[in-house]
Structure 1
Amino acid sequence: MRERESTNNHVMVEARKVDLSIITPVYNAKEFLEDVCKSIVSQTFTGSMEWSIFDDASSDKSIEVVHRWLPQLEKRGICVVMGGHSGKEPKGVGYAKNRAIDQSSGRFLCFMDADDVMHARRIELQYAASLSNPDAIVGCQFCRIPCTSTPRYTRWANSLTDVQLRTQAFTSFGPTIIQPSWFCSRDVFLRAGPFVEDKKVRF
Structure 2
Amino acid sequence: MISISVIIVNYNAKYFLKNCLDSVLSSDMIEQVEIIVVDNNSSDGSSEMLHKEFPQVICLQNSENAGFSRANNRGVAIAKGDYILILNPDTVISETTLSEMLHFSKSQSDFGAAGVQFMDGSGKFLPESKRNFPNLKVAGAKLLGYSKYYYANHIQKETTEKIDILTGAFMFIKRSVYQEVGGFDEDFFMYGEDIDLSYRITKAGYHNHYVGSCKVLHFKGESTIKDKFYLTNFYGALSIFYKKHFPNNKALYMLIDALINAIISIKSISAPGASKAKEKFDSWVYLGDDDQFFEKLKLRFDASKGFKRRAIEDEIKEVEIIFFDSSFISYQDIIKSISNPLIQKVKKRIICRDHSFYLGSDASDERGEVVDL
Q: Does TM, normalized by the shorter one, top 0.5? A: yes
Ranked by relative contact order (alpha carbons within 8 Å, sequence separation 6 or more), the top structure is 1
Q: Which of 102, 115, 119 is the equivalent residue of 1:127?
A: 102
Q: Of 29, 44, 54, which aligns to 1:45?
A: 29
Please report how far the alpha carbon of residue 154 of structure 1 lies from its aligned counterpart in structure 2 after TM superposition: 5.8
Deviation per CA, 1:20-42, whole angstroms, max 9, x where unpaired?
A: 10011111111312211210121
What pairs up with 1:8-157 in 2 under 5 angstroms? 18-45=2-29, 47-70=31-54, 74=56, 80-87=57-64, 90-133=65-108, 135-136=110-111, 137-147=113-123, 153=128
C-alpha RMSD of matched pairs (Å): 2.8
Kindly tell me: are residues 23 and 134 of structure 1, through their superposed partners in 2, closer, same or farther at Cα, counting changes over 3 Å? Answer: farther
Deviates more, 1:61-70 or 1:123-132: 61-70
**Corresponding residue number in structure 2 for 1:160:** 155
TM-aligned CA deviation for residue 95 of structure 1:
0.7
Between the aligned partners of 2:95 and 2:154, the Cα distance in structure 1 is: 22
- Partner Cα distance (1:126, 1:145) in 2: 22
The answer to whether the Cα contact below 8 Å between 1:20 and 1:110 also exists between their aligned partners in 2 is: yes
CA distance in 2, matches of 1:163, 1:117: 20
Segments of structure 1 that go 5 or more residues without pairing to the other structure are 1-16, 75-79, 170-174
Q: Structure 1 residues 163 and 53, CA, compared in 2 at 3 Å: closer, same or farther?
A: closer
Query: In 1, Cα distance between the equivalents of 2:187 and 2:11?
Result: 15
Query: 1:67 Cα shift?
Result: 2.5
Distance change >3 Å, CA 56–CA 198, structure 1 → 2 = farther
Q: Which letter does structure 1 place at the counterpart of 2:87? A: M
Q: Structure 2 CA distance, aligned partners of 1:69 and 1:112?
A: 19
**Structure 1 residue 163: deviation in Å?**
9.8
Given the alignment, which residue of 183, 191, 196 partners 1:194?
A: 183
In 1, Cα distance between equivalents of 2:127 and 2:86: 23
Q: Provide the rounded CA distance (Å) in 2 between the counterparts of 1:56 and 1:104.
A: 18
CA contact under 8 A between 1:25 and 1:55: conserved in structure 2? yes
**Shift, 1:97, TM fit:** 0.6
Q: How far apart are 1:48 and its partner, in Å?
A: 1.4
Question: Matched residue of 2:169: which SS?
Answer: helix
1:72-100 CA-to-partner distances (Å, cap 9, x unmatched) read xx4xxxxx22212223xx11111111111
Contact 1:37-1:66 at 8 Å conserved across structures: no
In the alignment, what sits opposite 2:251?
Answer: none
Q: Distance in 2 between matches of 1:44 and 1:62?
A: 26
SS at match of 2:184: coil
Amino acid at match of 2:59: M
TM-score, length of structure 1 as denominator length: 0.71
Q: Which amino acid aligns with 2:169?
A: P
Amino acid at match of 1:124: S
Structure 2 spans left out of the alignment, 5+ residues: 131-150, 192-223, 225-373
The one-letter code of the counterpart of 2:18 is E
TM-score (norm 2): 0.41
| Range with greater deviation from structure 2 (125-134 or 92-101) | 125-134
Quick check: which has more Rg, 1 or 2? 2
| 1:12 alignment counterpart | none
| AA partner of residue 59 (structure 1) | S
Q: Does the 8 A contact of 1:109 with 1:186 survive in 2?
A: yes
Q: Whole-Å Cα distance in 1 between the matches of residues 119 and 181 of structure 2? A: 27
Please identify, of 186-195 and 42-51, the stretch whose mean Cα deviation from structure 2 is larger.
42-51
